[in-house]
Amino acid sequence: MRLRVVLLFLLTPFVLFAQNLIPKPVSFEKGEGAFRLNSSTVVWAETASEEVKTIAESLRLRIASTTHLNPELVKVARRNFISFSINTDLAADAYTIHVDNEKAELKGGSGRGLFYAYQTLLQLFQDQIYNSEASYGFRLTLPACDIFDQPRFGYRGSMLDVGRHIMPVSFIKKYIDLLAMYKFNQFHWHLTEDQGWRIEIKKYPKLTEVGAYRKESMVGHYSDQKFDGKQYGGFYTQEEVKEIVAYAASKYINVIPEIEMPGHAQAALASYPELGCTGGPYEVRTLWGVSENVYCPYETTFTFLQDVLTEVMELFPSEYIHIGGDECPKDTWEDSEFCQNLIKTEGLGDEHGLQSYFISRIDSFLTSRGRRLIGWDEILEGGLSPNATVMSWRGTEGGIEAARQNHDVIMSPNSYYYLDYYQGDPATEPLAIGGNLPLEKVYSYEPFTDELTDEQKEYILGVQGNLWTEYISTPEKAEYMLFPRLLAVAETGWSPQGEKDYENFVSRVQGHFGKLLMRNVNFSRSIWNLES
């Protein structure tokens, strides 16, 4: 096995030069020869549309900054061009690429499809196209080919938890760039946690004055940690949030904010203790794991959450708003006279009914504002509220159950897509939360199982890889955990079902190491340790 892999590694640049694409396109036909760019090559934006021009201009700038060439952006050309245009015969997200000896033609069903074509084109060039500075002495070349492509799923997401460890804005942008490179279209931003509240809310300043800081950084500790008296934390201002949302939109990525409720709320309670059943005092949590201090379903709590969500909706145009809903211990509700009365007067049965009541009220609020609620699969307990979309994390059962109840589903099972789990032997890997999730296992996930009828399969909107950050305190480590495993999620989300082939994928992943190096990504080589 090891020998074969080493051989593949050596041969990769020759064998797969033309097909080194991730995610794999629907169809790829190799042509004769290649298109070599020279100083007369032009970039042609075929319509007057600003969107088309913007994409063409991105390529122009990328060529100009990575080579000695400086192609002109033109309205028409006869040969020696790279053209960008819309073809409305194609589905909105679909695209075609034709490359022969004298030109490259990119067509998208819409601006979005054209953007995907552009991402594929970049992958067809040599790795240097991704360089952040000019590299001289090489000639940009595209292999002659014909490509038709379109996504399998409409939702291709990646989640980043900034509650446990905050990441700088510069990293969030780099992450968005990498998501775009692999044709993801959703960035799920997990913004609140027991261990930290990370988004500025003007109406409730204590959320960030108090809730954004905990007593110390817990790097490397699970429990029994020693306090050194230092505080750890930070938050994103609304200006920074707007900047990130706009940046993502320019890469055709929607940002879904997550505001956790009723659980994972201890940092909020530390800021506003009157929202908890015991009244506090509470501290921003300094241990990992799940806090039993959760929101109490008082009217004042709903007012608070609706106010918070109102500000959030002003910042995020996303149709989907994620409200968490996972891991909500019911202890304080059991002991609260208020909750017990509410369960009785509303006929909720028990605390699970109360959780369902909680989510349903937020669901109606979001729905009345034209948005859609997503929650983790615990929102199934006690009855799913009518408009909810379920994000299945505890294996795949929650998602399957939700699809059976005719609810939309996003599959992000911990058994395949928890990128905080170990990807290699824990003896040689940096500290992780646990688990065992090598690249091959991530790649093996298939959302359509026999447990679902064809009709039920329609409810599966797509897939998502999740990065929880209890043990990830730096961008470098985040990159190490995400790459290359996120590429496997990308391929399952985009490429046709039944086309997957792990060995072929691994050889393409190797072919991407050079591209990722050019982008200064600290990817993991752990698969090499696993092959023996």
DSSP state of 379: G
Torsion, Cα of 238, 239, 244, 246 (10° steps): 110
Length of the chain: 532
Window 8-47: residues binding ligand TNX (CB under 6 A): none
Q: Which residue's CB is nearer to ligand TNX, number 64 or number 433?
A: 433
**326 binds ligand TNX per the rule CB under 6 A:** yes
Estimate the crossing angle of helix 299-315 against helix 238-250, to 10 degrees. 50
Active site residue 327: yes
Nearest approach in angstroms of CB 376 to ligand TNX is 4
Nearest approach in angstroms of CB 241 to ligand TNX is 22
Q: Which residue's CB is nearer to ligand TNX, number 197 or number 468?
A: 468
d(CA 462, CA 159): 13
Catalytic pick from 327, 334, 429, 440? 327
Window 390-409: residues binding ligand TNX (CB under 6 A): 393
Q: Which residue's CB is nearer to ligand TNX, number 165 or number 519?
A: 165
Q: Which residue's CB is nearer to ligand TNX, number 83 or number 412?
A: 412
**418 binds ligand TNX per the rule CB under 6 A:** yes
d(CA 117, CA 90): 12
**433 binds ligand TNX per the rule CB under 6 A:** yes
**327 binds ligand TNX per the rule CB under 6 A:** yes
Q: Which residues pair with 85 in a beta bridge?
A: 107
**468 binds ligand TNX per the rule CB under 6 A:** yes
**417 binds ligand TNX per the rule CB under 6 A:** no
Count of residues that interact with ligand TNX, criterion CB under 6 A: 9
Nearest approach in angstroms of CB 375 to ligand TNX is 9
d(CA 233, CA 250): 29
SS3 232: strand
**420 binds ligand TNX per the rule CB under 6 A:** yes
- HSE (side-chain half, CA atoms, 13 Å) at 231: 11
DSSP state of 346: T
**358 binds ligand TNX per the rule CB under 6 A:** no
Reduced DSSP (H G I as helix, E B as strand, rest coil) percent helix, strand, coil of the chain, to 5: 40, 20, 40
Window 359-378: residues binding ligand TNX (CB under 6 A): 376
The verdict on whether omega for the bond into residue 484 sits within 30 degrees of 0, i.e. cis, is yes
d(CA 274, CA 526): 48
**446 binds ligand TNX per the rule CB under 6 A:** no
Cβ density class 146-170: b for 16+ within 10 Å, e for less:
ebbbbbbbebbbbbbbbbbbbbeee
Q: Which residue's CB is nearer to ligand TNX, number 33 or number 395?
A: 395
The angle at the Cα of 371, spanning 469 to 212, to the nearest 5 degrees, equals 35
**260 binds ligand TNX per the rule CB under 6 A:** no
**197 binds ligand TNX per the rule CB under 6 A:** no
**189 binds ligand TNX per the rule CB under 6 A:** no
Q: Which residue's CB is nearer to ligand TNX, number 181 or number 402?
A: 402
**Residues ≥6 apart with Cβ < 8 Å to 67:** 37, 128, 134, 135, 136, 138, 140
Nearest approach in angstroms of CB 327 to ligand TNX is 5
**479 binds ligand TNX per the rule CB under 6 A:** no
**Nearest partner of 405 among 484, 451, 446, 459, judged by Cα:** 459
Q: Which residue's CB is nearer to ligand TNX, number 123 or number 195?
A: 195
Q: Which residues are catalytic?
A: 327
Q: Which residues in this chain contact ligand TNX in the complex, by CB under 6 A?
A: 326-327, 376, 393, 418, 420, 433, 468, 470
